[in-house]
Amino acid sequence: MIGRVDQEVARNRAVWEQASQKHVREYDELLAQAARRESLNADELRLLEPVLRTRPDVVHLQSGHGLDDIDLIAAGARRVVAVDYSVTAATAAQRRARELGVPAYYVAAEVPGVPLTPGLADLVYTGKGALIWMRDIDAWARGVATLLKPGGHLFVYEAHPAVPLWVWDEEQAGIRPDRSYFAESHVNDTFPANGAQEWQWTLGQIVTAVVAAGLEVRVLEEYPEPFWKPDGQEAAVWGGRLPNSFALLARKTQG
């Protein structure tokens, strides 16, 4: 069992290393996009505003292209230390941050178990396709709690766990016959991580893991809009009747 899981994590990492070449191929477009500060959406900025007003030190787990980091700093963060296991993604994001002159620093490492100083963060930020790559949601939550200072916040903005069930049909909202809300995992069949194994965590499992790690949930909001749509794709499931994303803000209460 341990061997199989390790293999799946290693395979996902290889898929992401490959997929992250996009950040190099499209470096100039992403640089222009970063300068426009459009990565954090209105709900994220609204919920994060009281935290960002305190000039927090941020740790961003699974930072990908890193555009969120540029926005976090523009909105008040003092500094972002960002972690992603793709060396390609971390290197491209570091180059971009340097070119834009923002204090964002990138570490290529696996989550959970990141090699950062415990208690480093006033805010741990993560999301937009992060939790589905966690094999053990309780270990992830414990890792977040370790990184936070007492009184520090966790902010997650993610695809709603029901999203893998949705059929992308323009006319009719539907549920895929091959998926279950309660399945352990499924194979990603859409861009960008096509072929990788996504682990599924229900909203209940995510909230319970966060609480069990010693954090107090302050906000849990669900939204009809997805955070990502493939170019040109439209779907009835995005029409306002179904959940497509959620945000969670939690606070570490003790040391």
Residues that bind ligand SAM (CB under 6 A): 16, 20, 62-65, 68, 84-86, 89, 110-111, 127-130, 133
| Shortest Cβ 68–ligand SAM spacing (Å) | 6
CB 187, CB 195: distance < 8 Å: yes
Kindly tell me which of 65 and 160 has the beta carbon lying closer to ligand SAM: 65
DSSP class of 132 = G
Neighbours of 171 (CB within 10 A): 8
Kindly tell me which of 137 and 242 has the beta carbon lying closer to ligand SAM: 137
Kindly tell me which of 127 and 243 has the beta carbon lying closer to ligand SAM: 127
Neighbours of 28 (CB within 10 A): 8
| Shortest Cβ 111–ligand SAM spacing (Å) | 4
| Shortest Cβ 129–ligand SAM spacing (Å) | 3
| Shortest Cβ 20–ligand SAM spacing (Å) | 6
131 is written with which tokens? 């939790």
**Residue 97 CB-density burial (10 A; 0-12 exposed, 13-18 middle, 19+ buried):** buried
**DSSP result, 181-236:** TT-SEEE--SSSSTTPEEE---HHHHHHHHHHTTEEEEEEEEESS-S---TT---G
Q: CA-CA distance, 76 to 40, in Å (whole number)?
A: 13
CB 30, CB 20: distance < 8 Å: no
| Shortest Cβ 66–ligand SAM spacing (Å) | 7
Kindly tell me which of 6 and 216 has the beta carbon lying closer to ligand SAM: 6
Kindly tell me which of 11 and 53 has the beta carbon lying closer to ligand SAM: 11
| Shortest Cβ 88–ligand SAM spacing (Å) | 9
Kindly tell me which of 159 and 235 has the beta carbon lying closer to ligand SAM: 159
Residue nearest ligand SAM, Cβ-based: 64
Q: CA-CA distance, 249 to 141, in Å (whole number)?
A: 13
